[in-house]
C-alpha cells in the first residue's frame, strides 16, 4: 500500500471500526478521518491517535515501513525487544529476571553466592556456577563480582545513609583491598572464617567493622578485607 490514505482505511477496516467508532475511540473527528482516507491530508498528528486505536505501527501507517496490523509477527528488531511480560509494573528491590546477559558480556558481573565469594581466590575465580550476569556501570576491575546482601545489618533505619536491604545487590571489586575509612567492604573474620558485609572504620591505627543498623554490634576482632563495594543495584523508591 503506497499511500497513507490506503493504509489508514485498511487499518480501520482490519480493526473492524466505522469512521464514527474510530472517532469515539481516538478523539479524531470523523471528518478528519474521512479526509485522511480520501488522501486530502498527507500527514497529520492525528495518525498517532489512529494508530493506537487501530493497533497499528505508527511508522507503518505514516511511511509504509514496518509490519502491517495483519502481519503475523508484530515485533521490531531485537534491539527494541526487551522481552518484558505483560502485567502491572511495580517497584522491585532486586534486579528483574529479564533481560539476561550471556556470561562475560562487557560491563556485567557474575552474581555469585557467599560461599563462592569466600573461596574466590582458592576457586580460581570460576563463574560457571554464577546465578546470572548483571550490569554494573560503576568503574571496576576484572576481578569483581556481584553479591546478594544477607540480613539487615546494613539496612539504615535513619534514612540519612545509604542503605542495603536484604536481597539487594552490591558490586565488589576484589582488587581494592585497602579501603578508606567509611567505605563498604566484604571481609573475612579470622575467628570462624565468616564472611561479612560492613562499613570499614579506621582511626589512630585501630580497625573495626561497623554495621549501619544499630541493632547489630560492631566487629572489633581481626579480619581481612576481601574487596571494596563500588556500587549497588539502586531501586526507585
Q: Does some domain include residue 148?
A: yes
Q: Does some domain include residue 13?
A: yes
Q: Does some domain include residue 25?
A: yes
Q: Does some domain include residue 82?
A: no
pTM, whole model, 2 decimals? 0.57
Q: Which of 35-39, 57-61, 135-139, 173-177 has the lowest mean pLDDT?
A: 57-61
Residues 123 and 35 grouped into a single domain? no
Residues 49 and 33: their CA atoms lie apart, in Å, by 11
Residues 231 and 19: their CA atoms lie apart, in Å, by 55
Its domain, for residue 52, covers: 4-63
CATH of the domain at 44: 1.10.260.40
> Does position 46 have pLDDT exceeding 80, yes or no?
no
Q: Which of 93, 83, 71, 225 is nearest to 166 (CA)?
A: 93
pLDDT of residue 233: 79
CATH of the domain at 216: 2.10.109.10
* Total number of domains in the chain: 2
CB of 163 within 8 A of CB of 138?
no
> Does position 120 have pLDDT exceeding 60, yes or no?
yes
Residues 113 and 226 grouped into a single domain? yes
**144-171 residue pLDDT tens:** 999 999 999 998 887 666 788 888 899 9
Residues 152 and 208 grouped into a single domain? yes
**179-195 residue pLDDT tens:** 999 899 999 998 888 99
Amino acid at each position: 500500500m503506497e499511500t497513507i490514505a490506503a493504509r489508514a482505511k485498511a487499518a480501520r477496516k482490519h480493526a473492524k471500526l466505522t469512521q464514527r467508532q474510530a472517532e469515539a475511540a481516538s478523539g479524531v473527528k470523523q471528518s478528519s478521518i474521512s479526509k485522511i482516507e480520501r488522501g486530502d491530508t498527507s500527514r497529520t498528528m492525528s495518525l498517532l491517535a489512529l494508530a493506537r486505536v487501530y493497533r497499528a505501527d505508527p511508522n507503518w501507517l505514516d511511511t509504509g515501513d514496518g509490519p502491517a496490523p495483519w502481519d503475523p509477527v508484530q515485533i521490531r528488531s531485537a534491539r527494541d525487544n526487551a522481552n518484558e511480560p505483560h502485567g502491572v509494573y511495580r517497584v522491585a528491590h532486586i534486579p528483574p529476571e529479564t533481560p539476561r546477559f550471556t556470561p562475560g558480556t562487557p560491563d556485567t558481573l557474575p552474581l555469585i553466592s557467599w560461599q563462592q565469594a569466600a573461596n574466590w581466590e582458592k576457586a580460581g575465580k570460576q563463574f560457571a556456577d554464577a546465578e546470572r550476569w548483571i550490569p554494573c556501570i560503576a568503574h571496576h576491575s576484572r576481578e569483581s563480582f556481584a553479591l546478594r546482601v544477607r540480613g539487615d545489618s546494613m539496612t539504615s533505619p535513619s534514612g540519612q545513609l545509604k542503605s542495603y536491604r536484604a536481597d539487594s545487590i552490591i558490586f565488589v571489586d576484589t582488587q581494592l583491598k585497602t579501603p578508606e575509612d567509611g567505605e563498604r567492604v566484604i571481609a573475612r573474620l579470622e575467628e570462624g572464617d565468616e564472611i561479612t558485609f560492613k562499613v570499614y572504620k579506621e582511626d589512630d591505627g585501630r580497625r573495626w567493622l561497623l554495621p549501619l543498623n544499630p541493632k547489630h554490634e560492631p566487629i572489633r576482632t581481626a579480619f581481612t578485607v576481601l574487596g571494596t563495594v563500588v556500587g549497588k543495584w539502586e531501586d526507585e523508591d
